[in-house]
């Protein structure tokens, strides 16, 4: 009898929910450590070294790379472009995703079809979308410049080659591809709100707008905050669409931080130490921008 009780106690101890949860989390945690945390720490270490991509003749370099970055006009230009991209792309994507999610949150067939159509670009490769947009918007063979010239009388519109239009075009393409992701998350958040709240607001005479402001928005605060933070981090690391469409041009108007880091570290002069230093500075910028937003949205304030 005593042995049976001991066996049952051991089984309960081994099958505790916390242990099972950690077991399921283990693959993701290992992936995070191996492919994110370790490379990030290695990048910080390399930023203090004078080293090329072959890791030959590495020697200490102190903070020289960081000082060089502060005096590098191209570094500041790339930082400015990244911040401008994030400043416009994040609000437009979140607002558009929110409006579409609020319109398609019902369970009808039309709403389900709409959500499917808007989500399709999310699963497509950014490289493929970039090439498609490059062909559609090309000033010589593109369909859109042809239609603009034919019906609006405006000729020689080169979206990706114009210093003024290049960045807005990249932002618009990115929003078109990614807002379906934001929409999907917000649809789930809206559907999780109790229907009784909307019914009570409707009985009190609240309009659709007031229901949206006073019921929907507070109810999806967590989902909205998640979308804001993840989109902010992703937009500051923009690379694929710029690399495929403009290569950072024209006149470096679309060269972002990740694009400049890539060119510095993985093309001539293969200055991996300087590229790692810029990556470290970019990481600090992302933390400075995202942590206050996280604290404001997710950390409850203490009552006065």
Q: What are the tens digits of pLDDT across the range 244-285?
A: 999 998 899 999 999 999 999 888 778 899 999 999 999 999
The partner residues of 49 in beta bridges, in order of sequence, read 60
Residue 303 has pLDDT above 80, yes or no: no
pLDDT value of residue 302: 62
Sorting pLDDT into bands at 50, 70 and 90, what band is 153? Answer: confident
Task: Determine which of 28-37, 151-160, 174-183, 216-225 has the lowest per-residue pLDDT on average.
Answer: 151-160
Q: pLDDT digit string (tens) for 199-253?
A: 898 888 888 889 998 999 999 999 999 999 999 999 999 999 999 999 998 899 9
Task: Determine which of 93-102, 179-188, 288-297 has the lowest per-residue pLDDT on average.
Answer: 288-297
What angle in degrees, to the nearest 10, is found between the helix axes of 272-298 and 38-46?
Answer: 130
CA 165 to CA 185: how far, in whole Å? 31
Angle at 145 between CA 141 and CA 146, to 5 degrees: 70
Whole-prediction pTM: 0.89
Task: Check: CB of residue 265 under 8 Å from CB of residue 275.
Answer: yes
Residue 12 has pLDDT above 60, yes or no: no
CA 27 to CA 61: how far, in whole Å? 37
CA 138 to CA 195: how far, in whole Å? 48
pLDDT value of residue 184: 94
User: In whole angstroms, what separates CA 87 from the centre of its chain?
Assistant: 12
Residue 53 has a CB neighbour count (10 Å cut-off) of 13
Q: Which residues of 148-174 are buried (b: 16+ CB within 10 A; e: fewer)?
A: beeeeeeeebbbbbbeebbbebbbbbb
pLDDT value of residue 301: 65
Mean pLDDT for the chain overall: 88
CA 184 to CA 175: how far, in whole Å? 14
Task: Check: CB of residue 285 under 8 Å from CB of residue 236.
Answer: yes
């Amino acid at each position: 009898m005593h042995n049976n009780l001991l066996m049952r106690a051991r089984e309960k101890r081994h099958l505790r929910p916390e242990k099972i949860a950690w077991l399921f989390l283990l693959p993701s945690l290992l992936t995070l450590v191996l492919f994110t945390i370790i490379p990030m720490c290695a990048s910080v270490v390399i930023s203090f070294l004078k080293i090329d991509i072959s890791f030959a003749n590495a020697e200490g370099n102190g903070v020289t790379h960081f000082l060089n970055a502060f005096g590098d006009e191209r570094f500041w230009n790339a930082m400015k472009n990244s911040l401008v991209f994030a400043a416009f792309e994040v609000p437009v994507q979140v607002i558009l995703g929110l409006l579409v999610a609020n319109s398609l949150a019902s369970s009808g067939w039309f709403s389900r079809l709409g959500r499917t159509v808007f989500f399709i670009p999310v699963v497509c490769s950014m490289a493929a979308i970039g090439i498609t947009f490059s062909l559609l918007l090309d000033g010589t063979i593109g369909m859109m410049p042809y239609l603009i010239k034919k019906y609006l009388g405006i000729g020689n519109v080169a979206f990706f080659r114009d210093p003024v239009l290049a960045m807005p075009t990249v932002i618009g393409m990115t929003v078109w591809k990614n807002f379906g992701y934001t929409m999907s998350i917000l649809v789930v958040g809206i559907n999780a709100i109790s229907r009784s709240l909307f019914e009570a607001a409707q009985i009190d005479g609240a309009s659709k707008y007031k229901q949206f402001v006073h019921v929907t928005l507070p109810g999806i605060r967590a989902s909205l905050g998640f979308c804001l933070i993840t989109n902010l981090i992703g937009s500051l690391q923009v690379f694929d669409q710029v690399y495929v469409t403009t290569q950072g041009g024209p006149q470096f108007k679309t060269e972002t931080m990740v694009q400049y880091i890539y060119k510095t570290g993985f093309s001539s002069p293969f200055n991996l130490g300087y590229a790692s230093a810029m990556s470290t500075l970019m990481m600090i910028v992302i933390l400075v921008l995202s942590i206050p937003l996280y604290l404001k949205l997710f950390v409850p304030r203490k009552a006065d």
